[in-house]
Structure formats: structure tokens, C-alpha cells
Structure 1
Amino acid sequence: MTTPRPIAAILDHPATWFVARLALTGPYILGGVVKLTDWQGAVAEQAHFGLQPAALFAALTIAVELIGPALILANRLAWLGAGMLGVFTLLAALLANAFWTMHGPERFMATNAFFEHLGLVGGFVLVATISHIRERHA
């Protein structure tokens, strides 16, 4: 079965590719900007998760949250930006949503958050894959 023509027209539209990448990377851009404008909060967040030196981890987090989306949105080295954000998201999920150590409602919420983050990782794999395919066919 082929894709219906109206849906194909939407999927083929150049804006769709950009808007999809923006939707996927938007939370990271926002997170990076918020951390950049609240440096003390960014450092405190890293310390809360036991990452030391907290200032170094805050700077690395900001860099990943801003550079990764820039590469994806520019569709230049999108594989690198997607890889940066995918690895970052997986590590953050393991660190912040260790549901296997929790009980009760806390475990339920952390389990959901963990698997939502895995979904984002899958989204970044798709971005890298689609970017690669589009590059080959350009």
C-alpha cells in the first residue's frame, strides 16, 4: 500500500524535514539556553546528580545541548549532532531515571521517563539515517 498523496505531499515538503528536526531538538535548545542564562543553577543540577567537577559537566552539557541541535538543524554533520544528543540522552536517562533502584509511584514515573528518553534516542538515530539517505540522493 502506498502513502496517500496528501500525506506524501506533506512528507515531501522541505519544511516538514526542518520542523521535525526542530521539534526533536527544541527541548535541548531550551535546556541549553536556560542553563547558559542560569549558570549557578546549571552547576547545581550537575552537583545534584553527583557529577564532579560540576562546572565542567555543566559546560559540557550546555555545549552538547546547543551544538548538537545546531548541527542537526543546519543539516551539516547531522550524524554527529544526532550522536551527541543520543549519547547524552541515554547517559542522562541512566543517571536521572534509575527506575530499577526505586519503588512505588517513584519507580513508575522514572520507568516512563526512562523509556521516553529511549524513544528520543531512537529519534536521533532516525535523524542520522534520514540525513544520510537524503545526502546520498542529493
Structure 2
Amino acid sequence: MDANVREDPTWVTAILARPWLLPLLRTALVSSYVIGGVTKLLHFDAAIHEQEHFGLHPGWVWAALAIVVEIGGSACVLANRLVWLGAGGLGCLTAIAMLLANDFWNLAGVARLSALNGFFEHLGLIAALIAVTWIAKVKNALGRSQYFWSA
């Protein structure tokens, strides 16, 4: 294979070199968690009912835990500090939600298809949380100013 085919196009390299890219990606990644945590906080009774609907009792404990993880974990990822803790907490919360809310193996028809899709969307979020943790680890090991992921 031609060596030029294996290289990223210059425009891709230019985009990846932008200092604002990684903070933007981290923001996009945790945006649904921030919105979910704030919404649960503002509507705590609904958050309690949501947790109990999925069989998590007492609902107030699980709702409070979800709020802390969604807001606190997002803050860690956004601040690029203790990313392993924030992304890990969000990943665990996502795995629980994935297994409880998207139990496609118990469903049939359109409901099964929807739950199957939701299950793998959640799996993709977990993979992205692992990736952002890995990027933070590599960045810290190599030094902030030397590489495109330094932001």
C-alpha cells in the first residue's frame, strides 16, 4: 500500500491539532449526563420514581447517587482532572442503566429493537468514556504542551 494512503489527510491533522477540540469533545460526551443530573436535581420526586420504576429501592438513594455521579463525574471530565474517577463513575452508571433500561433479551418486536439499539448506544458511551480516560492518561504521561490533545 502507498505510504500516502496510510497518512491522515492534512485537513484531518489540522483539525486534530486545534487546542479547543478535546475540551469540545469532552463537553459533548458528558452533555447528556449534565442535563440528566441537573434535571434530576430540579425534579427530585420524578427522579425517585424513575429509579423505582427500574426496581432500584430506595429510590431516593439511587436518585441522589445518580445526581452526584452525573454532575460530579461530568465535572471531573470537563475539568480534565481525575478523569479516571469521573469517567469511571459515569461508565458504571451507564452500565447499570444499560442493563436495567435496555433489557432487549426480555422483549419482543419493536420494543426489542428499540431496547437493543439503546443498549448498544450505552455501550458506545462507555467506550467513549474509556477513550477519554486513556487520552487523559497519555496526555499526562507525555506532557501537556507536546501533543495535540494537550488542551
TM bracket (short chain): over 0.9
Question: What value does the CA root-mean-square deviation take over the aligned residues?
Answer: 0.7
SS at 1:50's partner residue?
coil
Within 5 A, what are the aligned runs for 1:80-119? Answer: 80-119=85-124
Compute the displacement of 1:26 (Å). Answer: 0.2
Compute the displacement of 1:91 (Å). Answer: 1.0
Could you tell me how far apart the structure 1 residues matched to 2:129 and 2:98 are? 15
Could you tell me how far apart the structure 2 residues matched to 1:129 and 1:14 are? 18
Residue-by-residue CA offset, 1:56-104 (whole Å, 9 max, x unaligned): 1000000010011100010001111111111110111001000000011
Q: Which has the larger radius of gyration?
A: 2
User: Would you tell me which structure has more helix in proportion to its own residues?
Assistant: 1
Structure 1 segments, 4+ long, off by >2 Å, are none
- Specify the code of the residue in structure 2 equivalent to 1:137: L
Query: Which 5+ residue runs of structure 2 have no aligned equivalent?
Result: 1-5, 144-151
Could you tell me how far apart the structure 1 residues matched to 2:140 and 2:76 are? 14
Could you tell me how far apart the structure 1 residues matched to 2:73 and 2:11 are? 32
Within 5 A, what are the aligned runs for 1:39-50? Answer: 39-50=44-55
SS at 1:92's partner residue?
helix
Query: Which 5+ residue runs of structure 1 have no aligned equivalent?
Result: none
Identify the structure with bigger relative contact order (alpha carbons < 8 Å, sequence gap 6+): 2
Report the TM-score, using the length of structure 1 for normalisation.
0.97
Could you tell me how far apart the structure 2 residues matched to 1:14 and 1:73 are? 14
- Specify the code of the residue in structure 2 equivalent to 1:44: H
**Which region of structure 1 is more displaced relative to structure 2, 8-17 or 92-101?**
8-17
Within 5 A, what are the aligned runs for 1:1-138? Answer: 1-138=6-143
Report the TM-score, using the length of structure 2 for normalisation.
0.89
Compute the displacement of 1:50 (Å). Answer: 1.2
- Specify the code of the residue in structure 1 equivalent to 2:104: F
Over the matched positions of the two proteins, sequence identity in percent amounts to 46
